[in-house]
Chains A and B, each alone.
Chain A
């Protein structure tokens, strides 16, 4: 730390080595919600991969499809959601050959769920069973997915609490007797009960205050390094991901707009939406910046506008954006070929056209 003050390059302990096969590979996944008013294209041909040991952050505002994407990929959605295309290849250490999750029979899928891919749900209060104590809920998971004797399972339940820093005395506590942070830790312990390869975390810290949030995040990082699982971390708070994630994917109205390493996204955000997100949170440190936010609201996905979905809110927008093909292409100025953006016009340094200065925060659009 002291050797590289300020803008030190980030030493990533387990980088997504290009040669490494991804543990989870989502290809052209599309999900629609069937409604009487027409199909809502919640996820539109999304490609995303997760390397072993990697933390991929999925950022976007509510309704952007980030949860639908991962729930679709793990086949946790039910009607009216419908997966209309794509493949999700899972290649963990324990499976002999890669499998496509979307084409597995449900009994085959049952073997992979939790054992291989576990999920930490958003609201721990609602995700935990209020009438079972912590130990019984942990035992439920263990017995459902691992064939081990009862004594061993009990010991495992206790050691899981050790793992997340909750005293063993809390095994017999009920969810309402735990603080919000502890409940979230129990959720994490449950997800890790079967030593999964991939852990999906859906806004696990949104309801917590900053001190507890930081505590849980560092615990996730620690456990990840200790146990070697990969993480897909969903949040609307990009500032969290900058610290936590190896790579960040920015999602908007069902499409990915930009993918890059946390450092690239922070220093050289390319897509105007990413820039907007980065300019949306007040910073605590450094000089006070002028904050713009992103005026307007996301488009109606039943009737998406042609071309770039961000165009109506974009400060850089031109008529050419209506014909843009939303392909993720490498950012021309970036040294990292993995840093890709869906906006072919705007580069990291491009100034906002004077004629279309973003509305300042003082006069937001209705």
Chain B
């Protein structure tokens, strides 16, 4: 799992074949210059090409929930979409799931553009791309048994002439709800949170999808069972070679679970790259803030408790003191993070930076990368760096 940072040769290779696959429709945006860290795992399943979503919020105002976002999902690989609430990560996933129309951009499934217009289209698309919701308490119908929840998608998506009962039992075994017969007769309220989320996974698998979009699949669950659920997802990914989008605000779990991490802020991808690299050496100031904010048990009380000698001290993790009180502020021009960014200068407030490549698999949208992550940027410009 730790070796997923592609060697240079393979990465550029992958980039070339990638361009060939999406032949003609050359994604001229940001994705074109970067190879996904997940690309080495399997074949391309879903491409989101410069997708945007605007919401009209009244008074003639428009909320740009997702702005020009491009990424790819590959079979057997996990891409994590990380960001705070309101950053647009769920909207991006809902667009991929066909539940939200795109304002602009394009989504391709197995190389073919997706046009979900009628119900038939939608159902067909759904059989390929399934969504797992955050809250297993809300996403299961309280008046139906587990069996009902699983039989319906099996009948809908797998058609006639199959043994529904055997199929449902197999699904239960795949998510390790055994003995299946006993659980199938239960109602959601008779199950624990973890068991309910397993039913959600089984329901998603019932359509035999190639892509699974998991929207905070473990954040409603207890810490002690989160790992078990992530391990189950990982197992399902391997077994069915699923292309997985893992949406989370917990960047630490993305480190363990994902191949590639995309960090979203105010609807834009501000940083992307191999999970280990992004979490260990965050380049963008926002990613640095996210990493510095994660609870750090090995650093007991250092940032929260201000002892006598530390008055006014900031987080000692290299991340500058970003301004959290302005959490609701988003710049209308320039870099969306600039109002909170400790490094912001005039250019940041005037011009929105595009995702700039740092390595073949890594990029960040920041004008001040030289100051935010000097060690990364100097590595990019070759070996002739004199510190």
Q: Give the interface of A toward B (CB within 8 A).
A: 1, 10-13, 61-62, 165, 179-181, 208-215, 217-218, 221-222, 225, 236-240, 242-244, 262-263, 266, 276-278, 280-286, 288, 291-295, 297, 361-362, 364-366
Contact = CB atoms under 8 A, between A and B. Distances in A.
Contacts of B138: none
Given A210-B294, A211-B324, A291 B85 contact: no
A211 B263 CA distance: 14
Category for how many chain B residues contact A: 35 or more
B303 interface: yes
Given A13-B308, A179-B328, A288-B256, A210 B296 contact: no
B327 A179 contact: yes
B369 interface: no
B17 interface: no
B226 interface: yes
A325 B136 CA distance: 37
B225 A1 contact: no
Chain A contact surface mostly: loop
Contacts of A13: 305, 307-308
Given A263-B300, A288-B2, A366-B178, A295 B84 contact: no
Interface in B263-283: 276, 279
Contacts, number: 168
Nearest to B300: A10
Given A211-B327, A213-B293, A362-B231, A280 B224 contact: yes
Contact of B306 (A221, A242, A277): A221
Contacts of B251: 210, 284
B111 interface: no
Contacts of A209: 84-85, 249
B227 A292 contact: yes
Given A243-B299, A297-B192, A364-B176, 4 more contacts: A214-B303, A278-B297, A297-B194, A364-B232
B253 interface: yes
B84 A288 contact: no
A218 B304 CA distance: 5
B102 to A, nearest CB: 26
Contact of A215 (B290, B291, B298, B324): B324
Contacts of A221: 304-306
A226 B304 CA distance: 14
Given A243-B299, A282-B255, A214 B293 contact: yes
Interface string B213-240: 0000000001111111011100100000
Nearest to B229: A364
A293 B300 contact: no
A280 B227 contact: yes
22 contacts: A61-B225, A209-B84, A209-B85, A211-B324, A211-B327, A236-B224, A237-B223, A237-B295, A238-B223, A243-B304, A262-B300, A277-B223, A284-B252, A284-B255, A284-B291, A285-B296, A288-B2, A293-B227, A297-B225, A361-B227, A361-B230, A366-B176
Contacts of A286: 298
A4 to B, nearest CB: 10
